[in-house]
Amino acid sequence: MIITMKKKLNIWIFFGIACIFFNLSAVAELLTLRITIEGAFVTMFSYRVVLQLLSLFIFVISFFLTSLCFKNKKFVLCFLLLYALAFAFPFLLGWVREGDRISYSVYTFLTILVNSWYAIVLYFGYDWFNKQKQTKELEKQNLQSELSLLKNQINPHFLFNTLNNIDSLIKKNPDYASESIVELSDIMRYMIYETNVNKVPLQKELDYIDNYLNLQKLQYFNNELVEYTITGSPENKEVAPMLFIPFIENAFKHCTNKEAKHAIRFSFSLESGKICFEAINIANKTQSISKDKSSGIGLDTVKRRLEILYPNKYSLQIQEKNDLFCALLMIKIND
């Protein structure tokens, strides 16, 4: 396992905290001593200082040994050797009285054992934290790959239909056709070049949606098919790119009556620190519709993006009632 500079820094921060803890505990223990014989006090004081340094050393060794044990279980024997040396340690010091060596050995062994287990527990916590972080990073990379596919692969049916509609407009209404080409160009530029970041200005996302809706309307004779409203100001607000477009695509794809007035409705409510988006479309279950299977990304991908980008800062409600499909998304943002 390659340890980066950041991980090394985290490890040494842990060791620094542990060192402070051990030294404070030594001072606390010394303050509670009630030894009246001067020689015994000096011996105990000296031994406590040595033992605290030894404990810190064992703490460091145990931390790295635990890491090695994951690669090779034979390193478990090193722990047994450490504990054996800890028990024998008082016998190696000439200034510990012979009659006190057994009690010192037991005390040393228990102290080293406890500090060693502190290191083991700390390593498991550190390892768990890193694995969670790696999992999150992997999920973000996977989602980024899915988004890259989306940005580099505009829905073919939408693109072909739009080009055909623009082609038919060239003779009938050249000005309108020119505007549509510009809107299609803006959509492609935004999707391919401007969304390679975690967040974009909300105004750009709204402009992208507006262009998308205008091009969608070219496919239908119903000029009042879509109702689109924005309440509040998008100024100084940022949002993850292309977060709302899957709901908008689904509304067009699943709408069962594209001749009705306002059969598809989208609305944004922009408040301080919050974005509320609602998508509603007619969805009569008794009517069949032709679905474009290549369209966009699924709602499962959107939910995973929300979990990663807005943890505990969003709510998503999806309901089907009274022949309507409703999706309500609320996101808390930092203005």
- Backbone φ/ψ region at 232: left (φ over 0), alpha (ψ -120 to 50), beta: left
Which pLDDT value is given to residue 90? 64
Give the max Cα distance, the chain.
Answer: 110
pLDDT at 51: 67
Helices 156-172 and 202-217, packing angle to 10 deg: 70
Which residue, 232, 170, 162, 172, is CA-closest to 202? 232
The whole-angstrom distance between residue 130's C-alpha and the CA centroid of its chain comes to 13
How much is the pLDDT for 59?
A: 76
β-pair partners for 201: 238
Q: What was the pLDDT predicted at 262?
A: 93
Other beta carbons less than 10 A from residue 309's beta carbon: 17
Top CATH class of 152-332 equals: alpha beta
Sheet holding 226-231, edge to edge: 226-231, 264-271, 274-282, 324-332, 314-321
**271 neighbors 232 (Cβ within 8 angstroms):** yes
Residues of the chain whose pLDDT is less than 50?
1-3, 20-21, 23-42, 95, 153, 291-296
* pLDDT (0 to 100) of residue 210: 94
Question: pTM of the prediction?
Answer: 0.58
CATH 3.30.565.10 region(s) of the chain?
152-332
Chain centroid offset of residue 242 CA? 18
Q: Which residues sit opposite 264 in a β-bridge?
A: 226, 281
How many whole angstroms separate alpha carbon 189 and alpha carbon 241?
Answer: 13
Tell me the residue type at 236: N
Q: What is the pLDDT of residue 226?
A: 95
Instruction: Classify 2 in phi/psi space as left (phi over 0), alpha (psi -120 to 50) or beta.
Output: beta
Chain position carrying tokens 């606390």:
28
CA distance 159 to 174: 19
Contact residues for 90 (Cβ-Cβ < 8 A; gap 6+): 47, 96, 100, 101, 104, 105, 108
